[in-house]
Structure 1
Amino acid sequence: MTSPESQSPAPQPSEPGTEDRVYRSVPAIAGGVLLLAITGWLGIDAVVSGEGRTPWLALAVMLLVVPLVVAFTLRPAVYAGDDRLRVRNPFRVVVVPWGRIASLKSAYSNEVVTESGAKYQLWAVPVSLRARKKAARREMRATAQARREMGRGRDEGRGHALGMGAGLGLGGGPSSDGPVRAETDRIMDELRGLHEARREAESAQGEVTVRWAYEVMGPAVAGAVLVLILVLVG
């Protein structure tokens, strides 16, 4: 699940010199840190105490695994600025001006769809069906409680003189702030609101750009080649 950062993606401090809203996944970051710690512990132990090809194989595996763990856990982020949406996925960085976005879709994954029909998944804002079901249950409970309070208010109102039935105003109840939504669904609602507000702005026009993350792909490919060579030679 990814956060504005809780158990789903959440707003992070803006990057220096920008006012972007930043969304990342706390569970993914926590999982990534744990995996890196385990990989480092096992890899260093193999390098220090291993014999023969083992230290070299351990280094090659670490060169392969570490960039992939970083790519899928620590790297993903969504930056929402006044003029564009910047999506940092495991292997690509996509910059889409608000004026070039056709829609922001939520189904089994959250995606930004451009006017040309291209789709880019928001890795930092993952869909959680479990969170959606939990939010739906909370909404049902809040609605039922509001109805009970409204019923009590009507009963109290009948027992008071005209103009004294304050109980009739109890219907706002728990759901007065709007429907209960899963965290990532609320984030998508926020992004849609920014899109609607800024899509016509002159500064929010431009071209969609996509950059491959060679700084992640290069070390991973090098590690994979080294592992293959060591296995074949050994």
Structure 2
Amino acid sequence: MTTPDPQYKEHVHRSAAAIVGGVLLLGIALWLGVDAVVAGKGSTPWRALAALLLVVPLVTAFTLRPAVFVGQDRLRVRNPFRIVLLPWGQIETLRSGYSNEALTKSGAKFQLWAIPVSLRARNKAARREARRVAQGGGPVGGSGGSGAFGGSGRGAVSDGPVRAESDQVMDQLRELHEARGAAESAQGEVVVRWAYEILGPAVAGGVLLVILLVVG
């Protein structure tokens, strides 16, 4: 009798800093745009509408949209202009450098926009790790916990190396990849879909804005 695979509840990683920045940028854009539409003269209101049609989708794409959905059988990556379905069995490795990336067995590379690398956070973690080692390698508080990337909040005290939060997330993804990569249900093809709901309005807004600027 075979034992069924344990169920893994899907969870999502997003950048809280990007979301806050996106909300602020959208607020400013809408404030300026609506003011130009209401108080503008001549072709100014139309230019403002075209600019909003261009700017709002782009700001949304790079701030509010990115997310990484982690499931038992696959990784679903929602980047600014694409959605990528990556079965664990198709992933060759998860790499961290100046950005976090998933590399497939076919050689394709997909950046994980929702899990940005912070060199400042890495340097801070390295300093804390150096202090921990200098103090005898005892437990350090605060290396766990919930944060911008949706951590589980367990283990506020850790006796392992101090790591930046995005690096902790990548470690968790690597562990899940190692555990599920050979599972039958985690096989399949990599699927890439373009985000036409973002690209369409942005292209339309850009073309309309250029026409209005040329026509005057």
Matched, 1:57 2:57: no
- How many residue pairs end up in the alignment? 193
Matched, 1:100 2:82: no
Q: Which has the higher helix share?
A: 1
Counterpart of 2:18, as a letter, is A
Q: Identify which of 14, 19, 25 aligns with 1:29.
A: 19
Counterpart of 1:85, as a letter, is L
Counterpart of 1:193, as a letter, is E
What secondary structure does 2:136 align onto? helix
Query: Identity of paired residues, percent?
Result: 69
Counterpart of 1:222, as a letter, is A
Residue 209 of structure 1 corresponds to 191
Q: CA deviation at 1:19?
A: 2.7
Residue 161 of structure 2 corresponds to 179
Contact 2:92 2:104 in 1 (8 A): yes
Residue 150 of structure 2 corresponds to none
Matched, 1:117 2:107: yes
Closer/same/farther in 2, CA of residues 106 and 173 from structure 1, 3 Å limit: closer
What secondary structure does 1:184 align onto? helix
CA distance in 1, matches of 2:198, 2:80: 8
Q: CA RMSD in A?
A: 1.3
CA distance in 1, matches of 2:128, 2:116: 21
Contact 2:139 2:160 in 1 (8 A): no
Q: What pairs up with 1:211-226 in 2 under 5 angstroms?
A: 211-226=193-208
What secondary structure does 1:146 align onto? coil
What secondary structure does 2:46 align onto? helix
Matched, 1:126 2:108: no
Compute the TM-score of the two structures, normalised by the length of structure 2.
0.87
Deviations 1:49-79 (A, max 9, x none): 0000000000000000000000000000000
Counterpart of 2:35, as a letter, is D
Residue 162 of structure 1 corresponds to none
Runs of 4+ in 1 over 3 A off after TM superposition: 172-176
Q: Rg: which structure is higher?
A: 1
Compute the TM-score of the two structures, normalised by the length of structure 1.
0.80
Counterpart of 1:200, as a letter, is A
Closer/same/farther in 2, CA of residues 191 and 43 from structure 1, 3 Å limit: same
Q: CA deviation at 1:21?
A: 1.6
CA distance in 1, matches of 2:96, 2:169: 11
What secondary structure does 2:28 align onto? helix
Counterpart of 1:180, as a letter, is V
CA distance in 2, matches of 1:103, 1:60: 42
Structure 1 unaligned segments of length 5 or more: list them: 1-17, 148-171
